[in-house]
Amino acid sequence: EAQVTQNPRYLITVTGKKLTVTCSQNMNHEYMSWYRQDPGLGLRQIYYSMNVEVTDKGDVPEGYKVSRKEKRNFPLILESPSPNQTSLYFCASSLSGRVGDSRVYGYTFGSGTRLTVV
């Protein structure tokens, strides 16, 4: 089944304890992205990757890191989590990251990771 898989689904952690949220897609998609979703603010992009070893900041990158060593994986790293990073996180992928590419632009989303930092 074509899908984007995130782990864990739920995580409670303490301030300052490094954590990684994993994301994997099995559709050979070039483009992957992380979003956070907060009440009243909608989905905001954290980081994105156009392809292997190509990553760039989104709208709210502070406090986050990513890597794209393989096409299928795009982990989100919080080196020193803080309470304001408590949120619902989504990984998404798309066949292409290039506007003008005639292939489908739409994202496929993972099921989400609910992170609580205390």
Partner 1 sequence: GESVGLHLPTLSVQEGDNSIINCAYSNSASDYFIWYKQESGKGPQFIIDIRSNMDKRQGQRVTVLLNKTVKHLSLQIAATQPGDSAVYFCAESPYGGATNKLIFGTGTLLAVQP
What does the binding site for partner 1 look like in residue numbers (CB under 8 A)? 4, 31, 33, 35, 37, 39-43, 45, 48, 50, 56, 58, 88, 90, 92, 94, 96-101, 105-112, 114, 116
The β-bridge partners of 94 are 31
CB of 95 to partner 1, least distance (A): 9
> Which is it for strands 76-78 and 4-7: parallel, antiparallel or unpaired?
unpaired
Tokens for 78, please give them: 């919080």
For the chain, the residue count is 118
Shortest distance, position 109 Cβ to partner 1, whole Å: 3
Closest approach, Cβ 39 to partner 1, in A, equals 5
Which candidate, 118, 113, 112, places its Cα nearest to that of 84?
118
Decide whether 23 or 79 has the Cβ nearer to partner 1: 23
